[in-house]
Amino acid sequence: MNIISSYLILGAILFCIGLYGALSKKNAVIVLLSIELMLNAVNLNLVAFAKLGLHPSLTGQIFSLFNITVAAAEAAVGIAILIALYRNKGTSDVIDMDSMKR
């Protein structure tokens, strides 16, 4: 078995755990963290392909750096939305965030 498939399977497991957490948890902060976990699985695949892919180059590492930047921006905006919502509705529970359904 090639070593790259171990890295890819580890990334797949990490992605599935993140997906489960994002869809099943109640606290909105934990949902944001699960999304970060899924982005990290993608980063792992990018860095693994940068070294062990067919044409190894540094491009995968640069893409993962861009990915980390976008993830940081996403976390900041997500926390800001969460705090604004908490100030208005008094809850951090994703079950209660259903104003668009009514």
Tokens 């580890």 — which residue? 10
| Burial label, 33 (beta-carbon count in 10 A; 0-12, 13-18, 19+) | middle
Q: Which one, 2 or 99, has the nearer CB to other proteins?
A: 2
Encoded amino acid at 49, one letter = F
Under the binding rule (CB under 8 A), the answer on residue 32 touching other proteins is yes
- Count of positions on this chain that bind other proteins (CB under 8 A): 74
Binding residue for other proteins, selected from 47, 97, 98, 100, defined by CB under 8 A:
47
Applying the rule CB under 8 A, the residues between 48 and 77 that interact with other proteins are 48, 50-56, 58-59, 61-62, 64-66, 68-77
Q: Which one, 1 or 100, has the nearer CB to other proteins?
A: 1
Tokens 């990334």 — which residue? 11
Phi-psi region at 90: left, alpha or beta (left = phi > 0; alpha = psi -120 to 50): left
Under the binding rule (CB under 8 A), the answer on residue 84 touching other proteins is yes
Token pair for 57: 């180059």
Residues forming beta bridges with residue 54, ordered by sequence position: none
Q: Which one, 84 or 102, has the nearer CB to other proteins?
A: 84
Minimum CB–partner distance for residue 3 and other proteins (Å): 7
